[in-house]
Amino acid sequence: MFRKLFIISLILFTSLSFAQNEKNLRAGGYARLYSMGDNMYIVDLDNIKVNPAYGSQFSNMIWGDLGEKTDMYNNGSGQFAGFNFKLNKQVSVGALLTRKDFNTMSIAKLDPSDLVSAINSNMPGASVVPLENNLELFGAFDLGNLVLGLGVAYASTNNETKPASGTGTKQTAGQIGLNAGIIFKLNNTTSIDADFSLIMPSVEVDPGSASGKATASQTYLIVNARMFMPMTSKLTFVPVVGFATVSGSSEVGGTTYDMPSGTNIAVGFGINYKVGDLLIAGGPSLIMESVTTAAVPNTSPELSTSKLVFPNWNLGAEFNFTDWLIGRFGYVAHTESITSESAASLTTKNETIYTSHLPGDVRVGLGFRFGNFALDATVNDDVLRQGLNLIGGGTATFAYISASYAIP
């Protein structure tokens, strides 16, 4: 039903968009960034997901994803819907309605480590209802050279039994997310954007007795920042930094256990080259990841896994063939070195080090602009390989689709 309503809304807005002659610059989405090699060196509508300050730049819009086909019944993955409206010259407000299969790691992403599944799988009798739908509200305040953004998201489920006699049970899951963002113009050409996100999922199972009670919770902290530094009228240098960490604990029968903790640090050095209707963006980055698993008494010592990724390449190009058709090309590849530890005994551990080269992933995308309506899609690889065999065939043309409508 959600998908049908979303498509009908887009069709209605499309019929109005043909009357618009002004070129629509408020467009984009996940499909655009993915087609351009998961590009983090360009400004896009999709940036609102992690930095609510961009709600001021992409205001008066209805947008979302039709996602990708995941099964024979055409159920899509990654679907969501959102809107963003400007109340006055300074203030913009918006909302996102998302599902658990949301593609971006942000406060709209539900239960990233599947706490609910872990509790249901490991605790006898547990039947916690999974978190499936999330609501995010956000706002942006434009102060001229400084734009501030704030967002909050909340989701919860409840499974409670109340027998006529005896003790009832209560099983709950919930998540609250908070984020903040800024866009700061140092001068007419140089700008900085930065965002901070806090995601806190939790699960509780109360069977009616203190000895059987179980809880689990996690805290995700994510920080990102970029600077757009023009070197010439066509070339912009874009350094990017990112930091993320997660930790958590569970308590069963009064005993507390530490959950695996992780840290991710990324530093990227990209460019943004714009000449005429051609945009080239991308560059290399260095990523350091580590995961630590706490010691288990009488079972294993503390164990860790670390990964160094360098170079990690995110490359993309975009070209306006006509006023209404855009072509895109992207490439992703990286080399990684992994060091992992495994338990040799209760107190000692083995260490393994290996390096691997992940094969590059070539991506192709298209963008369609009809007045204020925009449709961006990643082309299915098979379409390029099938050739004339597509005539009468059943191959899907697009692998992922984003859509938006900019209100005049």
Q: Are 223 and 246 in contact (CB under 8 A)?
A: no
Of 22-31, 57-66, 83-92, 117-126, the poorest mean pLDDT is in: 22-31
Q: How far apart are CA 356 and CA 337, in angstroms?
A: 6
Is the pLDDT at 25 greater than 70? The verdict is yes
Question: Considering only 13-22, 97-106, 369-378, which range has the smallest mean pLDDT?
Answer: 13-22
Q: Is the model's pTM score more than 0.75?
A: yes
Q: What pLDDT shows up at residue 349?
A: 84
What local confidence, expressed as pLDDT, does residue 144 receive? 92
Q: For 259-315, how does the pLDDT look when each residue is reduced to its tens digit (9 = 90+)?
A: 999 999 999 999 999 999 999 999 999 999 999 999 888 788 888 999 999 999 999
Closest CA to 58 of 95, 24, 97, 26: 26
d(CA 137, CA 153): 6
CATH at 89: 2.40.160
pLDDT (average), residues 371-382: 88
Is residue 32 left, alpha or beta, with left meaning phi > 0 and alpha meaning psi from -120 to 50? Answer: alpha
CA distance 322 to 77: 30
End-to-end CA distance of the chain: 28
The helices-and-strands tally (H runs, E runs) of the chain is 4, 18
Any residues with CB less than 8 A from the CB of 223 and at least 6 apart, and which? 194, 195, 196, 197, 242, 243, 244
Model confidence at 382, pLDDT cuts 50, 70, 90, reads low
Q: In the structure, what pLDDT confidence band is assigned to residue 10 with cuts at 50, 70 and 90?
A: very low
Structural domain boundaries, residue 325: 2-406
How many other CB atoms are found less than 10 A from the CB of residue 21?
Answer: 7
Percent of the chain surpassing pLDDT 90: 68
Q: What is the mean pLDDT of residues 363-384?
A: 88
**Which one, of 387, 392, 382, 364, lies nearest residue 69 by Cα?**
382
Question: Can you read off the two tokens belonging to residue 296?
Answer: 């288990």
pLDDT in tens, 100-113: 999 999 999 999 99
Find residue 371's DSSP bridge partners. Answer: none
Q: How many domains does the chain have?
A: 1
- 324 phi, psi to nearest 5 deg: -115, -5
Tokens 């992780």 belong to: 262
320 has pLDDT over 50: yes
Query: Mind listing the pLDDT tens digit for each residue in 111-163?
Result: 999 999 988 888 887 889 999 999 999 999 999 999 999 999 999 999 988 87
